[in-house]
Amino acid sequence: MKTIDDLQVAGQRVFVRADLNVPLEGGAITDDGRIRAAVPTIARLTQAGAKVIVASHLGRPKGAPDPRYSLAPVAGRLGELLGAPVAFAPDTVDEGARAAVAALEPGQVLLLENLRFNAGETSKDDAERGAFADRLADLADAYVGDGFGAVHRKHASVYDLPARLPHAAGGLIATEVGVLEKLTENVSRPYAVVLGGAKVSDKLGVIDHLLERADRILIGGGMAYTFLKAQGHEIGDSLLQEDQVPVVQEYLRRAAERGVEFVLPVDVVAVKDFPDLETKAPTSPQVLSADAIPAGLMGLDSGPETGALYASKLADAATVFWNGPMGVFEHPDVAAGTRAVAQALVDSPAFSVVGGGDSAAAVRILGFEESAFGHISTGGGASLEYLEGKTLPGLAALED
């Protein structure tokens, strides 16, 4: 995989596929982690005299312009972080974009409007996707892939465009791949994995793959209740994927057979009604044993005994991968379990990797210093698919 050092960029129009898919509330950015992660590669290109054209998606618009998903706020924040103005094109490949590209001088940066405002970006039809990639290629002389959070998508700007231009991996992708190799090749042991989030079905592939590699797997979040149900426990009104119970039972059997330790919650924080995440109104939480949650209550976080148990399981680990919160961390009544895992990683001497998505957001929202962790990934889905052993289209497209 080539790097920026392999490209001649001075005076050239360099298309940078970044991942600037940040959360917005009322048009304001609530977490700029992905923008900050994109800055080093963009800054390096500007310093080398490139005309930098940055492109990204944001949210899930339906292949047409939607002001709710405009990247305009991102352009402003990117400029602040770069310490220089960032021009903003009102479209992606039409007259506005072409004029903005033509006006670029060496060392300047332009951000195109949301790639997903064009149906060709995400189309499953190769011809339609390729036609959009052709139009993107007309804007540039070279391509740098640096949007790790999108490399598991077979999208025009991720998969098709690199084939049309001289291409290389940016610094962020090189860093992310290097970290993930530490989780898959010559892993320092004990190797512990913490998996949370809402649905066990989202993690089936990675669990299956890690059963052959991890020493212990700690389960939390909404997915934990399907595991508890698989063990025959009462889970009240907690989230359950009934159709996954047999699959989970098979995983538990395989883990016991292979000597992989599966660790499940021993207590939970339960509430009657799902909390209001906007007002943060109190919920009257109850701490209950994880094996007997009564009807009418739903578990939304792991309890204090579980937090202590998980900390003990992480204390002697040499490598830890964490993907998915332990509860609804956005509400203070059900955030303690996620906080306990984050604190355990901070306290552990292990090389710790926070696998993007909600886990990365939780670390920042709960006030932890990012430097306290070994690495905070910018791509939750991409990290999981890499650990499943899948070929990621965006990485394959950057290889020669």
Residues annotated in a binding site: 19-21, 34, 57-60, 116, 153, 203, 299, 330, 356-359
Rounded Cα–Cα distance for residues 129 and 106 (Å): 30
Residues annotated in a binding site for substrate: 19-21, 34, 57-60, 116, 153
- Positive or negative CA dihedral for 204, 205, 208, 214? negative
- Confirm whether 34 is a catalytic residue: yes
Rounded Cα–Cα distance for residues 133 and 394 (Å): 14
- The residue annotated as part of the active site, out of 34, 51, 313, 339, is 34
Rounded Cα–Cα distance for residues 354 and 349 (Å): 15
Residues annotated in a binding site for ATP: 203, 299, 330, 356-359
- The residue annotated as part of the active site, out of 220, 221, 337, 357, is 357
Q: How far is CA 118 from CA 63, 94, 114, 121, 286, in A?
A: 5, 11, 8, 6, 48
Rounded Cα–Cα distance for residues 398 and 400 (Å): 7
- The residue annotated as part of the active site, out of 199, 254, 364, 390, is 199
Tokens standing for 122? 């995400």
Tokens standing for 144? 């740098």
Rounded Cα–Cα distance for residues 132 and 136 (Å): 6
Classify each residue of 156-171 as buried b or exposed e, where b means 16 or more C-beta atoms within 10 Å of its C-beta: bbbbbbbebbbbbbbb
- The residue annotated as part of the active site, out of 33, 120, 221, 381, is 381
Residue 115: DSSP 8-state? G
- Confirm whether 199 is a catalytic residue: yes
**SS3 for 79?**
helix
Exposed/middle/buried for 256, CB within 10 Å: 0-12, 13-18, 19+? exposed
Active site amino acids = 34, 199, 357, 381
